[in-house]
Structure 1
C-alpha cells in the first residue's frame, strides 16, 4: 500500500504536469520547441507533463526562466489568489516594467533583458542587449520579421549579408531579419543597444540569444 507521502507526491506531480502543459499550450509551443529553449529532452518534458517524473530544482528554475514566471507559478500558485505589488500592476492599456524587475539573462555570448511585459504572444519584442567586446564566434542569423536597433554606448559592428556597418552611440539601423545578419562589439568597451524585433519570440531566441543546437 502506498504511504500518504507517496500519494501526496503523486498528486503534486500531476498538478505540476498539468500546469506545465497549460503554460506551454498557452504559448503555442510544441514539446520540440520547448525542448530547444529549455535544453531539456522532449521525452523528459513529456514525462514531466504526464506527472511521471520528479524534476530537479535546476530543471524547475530553468522552466520558470523560459516561461518567465516564478517557481510558485509552476505549481499553479498564480497571482489570482494574491494582490500584486505596485510594480506588477497592469493597466487596462498596457503594463509598466520597473527597472528593478528586469532580470539580466545570458545567451550566445550576449547579456540581455526584456523590456516588455512578458507577453510571449506579442508581436513586438524590445530588448536591452549588452554585446561583450570579447564575444567569440562568427555567426550569421536569419529569422522571420524585422529588427530595429539603437546604439546606447560603445561601438557596434552590424553585419548584413556580406556588408559591415560601424555604428556609434546614437546610430540606428532597421532591416529585414530574414537577411543573414550578426552583431559584434569593437573598440575597448562592450556595446550596449536597444533591440526591437517584430518577430515570433522563438525565432528571436533561436538567433541571437540561444546557442546553436547540434
Structure 2
C-alpha cells in the first residue's frame, strides 16, 4: 500500500517551485541556512516550532498552511478522501514539553487531527499552565506511563494500552511518569471547527513563550 509522500520537505519544495525560487533564494527569504533547507526538502531534517514560525512569518503564510499542500475550495457532498501515513512522513513540531508528529497532513480542513506525541515533561511545574482548545481529545498510550492532569478531576495514571477521552475545552496536561524518560501516545483531536489546526498551533506558540520566560 503506497504511503502519502506529503511531508514538510515536499510542502516547502512545492512552495519554492510554485514561486519559481532557487534554493538559495528560498533560503534568503525564509532565513533558513541553505544547507539546512536542502536537508529539510529531502526529508533528512525537520524544523523546530521556532523555525516553522519563522518560515511562516517571513513567507507570509499561516502556520496551518505548512501542514497541508493543496488548497480546497467547495466541498462535494461525498469527498471520498483517504490518507495513509506513518511517522516518517509526518510533520514534526518540537516544544519544551512535547515532540508532536502530525499525521496525514496532506488533507486540509480535517475534522479529526491525528498526532503521535512524545512526552518529556514530568511535573506540573515543568509543564506550566494547563492547555485547552476547541473540541474533544482522545489519547492512547503507546509507550511508558502517562499522568493526565485535568481541570476538574484528580490526576490519573495511564499504562500502555490504556486511553482517555476528554473535553478539550477543559484544561489538561499530559506528563511522563518518573518510571520512564519519555512517554509516547497517539492522540486524536476532533472539532466541528475548521480552525482546529490553527488552535493547536497557537498552543505550541504559547508553550514556547512560557519556556522563554
TM interval, shorter chain, is 0.5 to 0.7
How much does 1:99 deviate?
4.4
Matches within 5 A, 1:1-214: 55-58=29-32, 62=52, 63=55, 66=63, 67-68=65-66, 93-132=81-120, 134=122, 136-162=126-152, 163-189=154-180, 190-199=182-191, 200-207=196-203, 211=207, 213=209
Q: Alpha-carbon deviation of 1:208?
A: 5.5
For residues 134 and 121 of structure 2, what CA distance do their matches in structure 1 show?
27
Distance 1:97 1:156 in 2: 25
Distance 1:69 1:185, change over 3 A: closer
When normalised by structure 2's length, the TM-score is 0.57
Match of 1:38 in 2: none
Which structure would you say has the larger Rg?
1
Q: Which runs of 5+ in 2 are unaligned?
A: 1-14, 20-27, 38-50, 71-78
Q: Structure 1 residues 174 and 208, CA, compared in 2 at 3 Å: closer, same or farther? A: farther
**Match in the other structure for 1:87:** none
The residue matched to 2:141 in structure 1 has which SS? strand
* 1:143-186: CA deviation from partner (whole Å, max 9, x where unpaired): 11000000011110111115211111011000100111111111
Aligned mates of 2:189, 2:91 — CA distance in 1: 19
How big is the alpha-carbon RMSD for the aligned residues of Structure 1 and Structure 2?
Answer: 3.5
CA contact (8 A) 2:100 2:118 kept: yes
Q: Distance in 2 between matches of 1:182 and 1:208?
A: 13
1:168/1:176 CA distance change after superposition, 3 Å? same
**Distance in 1, Cα, partners of 2:205 & 2:169:** 16
- Asked if the contact 2:149–2:155 (Cα under 8 Å) also holds between the matched residues in 1, the reply is yes
Contact 2:141–2:161, Cα closer than 8 Å, also in 1: yes
Matches of 1:209 and 1:174, distance apart in 2: 24
Aligned residues: 147
Q: Tell me if structure 1 keeps the 8 A contact 2:113–2:190.
A: yes
What is the CA–CA distance in structure 2 between the aligned matches of 1:113 and 1:146, rounded to whole Å? 19
Shift of 1:209: 7.0
5+ residue gaps, structure 1, are 1-14, 20-53, 79-90
Change (3 A) 1:123 1:108: farther
